[in-house]
Amino acid sequence: MTSIKIAIDGPASSGKSTVAKLIAKKLGYVYLDTGAMYRSATYLALQNDTSLTDERAIVKLLKDYPISFGRRKDDSEQLVFVGDVEVSHPIRENEVTNNVSTVAALPLVRKTLVDLQQQLAKKGGIVMDGRDIGTVVLPDAELKIFLIASVEERAERRYRENLEKGIQTDFNTLKKEIAERDYKDSHRKISPLKPAADAITFDTTGIDIAGVVNFIEKKAQNIIDRS
């Protein structure tokens, strides 16, 4: 059976990672969370008191503490490491979340992480989620999906997610932060958040996870069957 590449892009909390993970599981593909990589770079800079705009220093940190992924034994949940340190939880904390757009706008950091992402996708059989997967990282992906949802609904989703993880947040602050992050991610000079010309845009406002997964899985299956 042919293994394809699936790119899932969209703004913060549009449901990308939840959906991407489920599709990867259904198809037996690898799932790669590229947001976790930009978050890890931000975490490294903050931990090492490195300026968030010093791209050379951050790239050096990424060389010294390479990003890798693993699986938790009991529930197969994806784990993120920098060097030997597991950072799956710390990279979701507010300090990282509120600074990641600055680090993600640095050209040298993007180049370093995009190279790594392309390396990991070489064999196909991958579902990757992010902001520039369909436009820059995998322009040859057989299926490109761009997920959107209202700011209100996305803030609600992140609020619930945070509660489950034990992270305290104020709903209105969250809404403001999401809108700000959207603005920064879509207006940066390099690889701004935007759908690829050949992407399917899907508004998930009011649609549950199963509905979104079904839609994408059908599209993927069609492509796999035809190739």
> Where does this chain touch ligand DC (CB under 6 A) — which range of 33-41, 60-68, 118-126, 205-213?
33-41
The single residue among 6, 8, 12, 20 that binds ligand DC, judged by CB under 6 A, is 12
Selected binder of ligand DC within 15, 29, 87, 101 (CB under 6 A): 101
Shortest approach of ligand DC to residue 10 CB, angstroms? 9
Among 6, 106, 132, 199, binds ligand DC (CB under 6 A): 132
Specify the residue, 53 or 221, whose C-beta has the smaller distance to ligand DC. Answer: 53
- The residue among 12 and 155 lying less far from ligand DC, judged by its C-beta, is 12
Helix (H), strand (E), coil (C) string for the chain: CCCCEEEEECCCCCCHHHHHHHHHHHHCCEEEEHHHHHHHHHHHHHHCCCCCCCHHHHHHHHHHCCEEEEECCCCCCEEEEECCEECCCHHHCHHHHCCHHHHHCCHHHHHHHHHHHHHHHCCCCEEEEECCHHHHHCCCCCEEEEEECCHHHHHHHHHHHHHHHCCCCCHHHHHHHHHHHHHHHHHCCCCCCCCCCCCEEEECCCCCHHHHHHHHHHHHHHHHHHC
Question: Binding string to ligand DC for residues 165 to 204, with x set by CB under 6 A, is what?
Answer: ----------------x---x-------------------
Closest separation between CB of residue 100 and ligand DC, Å? 4
CB atoms within 10 A of CB 105: 21
Q: Which one, 54 or 161, has the nearer CB to ligand DC?
A: 161
Nearer to ligand DC, 134 or 220 (CB): 134
Of the two residues 135 and 220, which places its CB atom closer to ligand DC in the complex? 135
Q: How far is the CB of 51 from ligand DC (least distance, A)?
A: 18
The piece of 65-73, 98-106, 169-177, 194-202 that touches ligand DC (CB under 6 A) is 98-106
Cα(82)–Cα(52) distance, integer angstroms = 17
Please report where in the chains the tokens 């800079």 appear, as a residue: 45
Q: Which range touches ligand DC (CB under 6 A), out of 79-87, 126-134, 169-177, 215-223?
A: 126-134
What is the distance between the alpha carbons of residues 216 and 24, in angstroms, rounded to a whole number? 11
- What's the order of all strands across the beta sheet hosting 78-82? 67-71, 78-82, 85-86
Asked if 44 is part of the footprint of ligand DC (rule: CB under 6 A), the reply reads no
Q: Quick check: 5 binds ligand DC (CB under 6 A)? A: no
By CB under 6 A, name the binding residues for ligand DC.
12, 34-35, 38-39, 100-101, 104, 130-133, 181, 185
